[in-house]
Amino acid sequence: MRGTVQLRGDFGNPTGSGYAKLRVDNLESADAATALTDMDTFADNLKTGGFTDCNVGNTKVSVFSGQNAAKPAANVNVDALLIVVFRKGTEEQVRKMTIPGIDVGSTLLEEDSAGLRLTTAGAATLAGYIDALFGWSAQAVIISGKCIVKS
């Protein structure tokens, strides 16, 4: 099951509308209604935790949860992306998630020789959010988290 949440910043994307999508594949929720709640909570956690400054809009899996997202009026660029690669425990399969709207000056990021990367503390917080989303018990392992800004 795939979950999708509409996020809205102030600008960015090809049309400049500030709309972007957060997608998570392979949700393990018991049913669509639970997955919908899990995705909505996950997106709210990302916003509260500072992983995105975007406002949370529509959420969907097999069902749809309408939420009108206004622009945050804080110069949030949806083209500033946090690309996260993670896995469940010792499983070999990796999963990828792209979170639009991260503040490039966020304390969740640190400068590395390869560019902006997720801090250890940021990775731990995000792993907790992913555990909650998937219903895992301390099994999310963040492999990498890099920030890019599309031009």
The pLDDT, as a whole number, for residue 127 is 98
Residue type, 126: L
Q: Would you say the pTM of this structure is higher than 0.85?
A: no
- Looking at the 3D structure of the chain, how many domains does it have? 1
Contact 71, 7 (CB under 8 A): no
The pLDDT, as a whole number, for residue 132 is 96
The pLDDT, as a whole number, for residue 109 is 97
Collect the ranges in the chain with pLDDT lower than 50.
none
The domain in which residue 32 lies consists of 3-149
Cα dist from 47 to 30, 51, 65, 66, 146, whole Å: 25, 6, 18, 18, 17
Contact 88, 140 (CB under 8 A): yes
The pLDDT, as a whole number, for residue 68 is 85
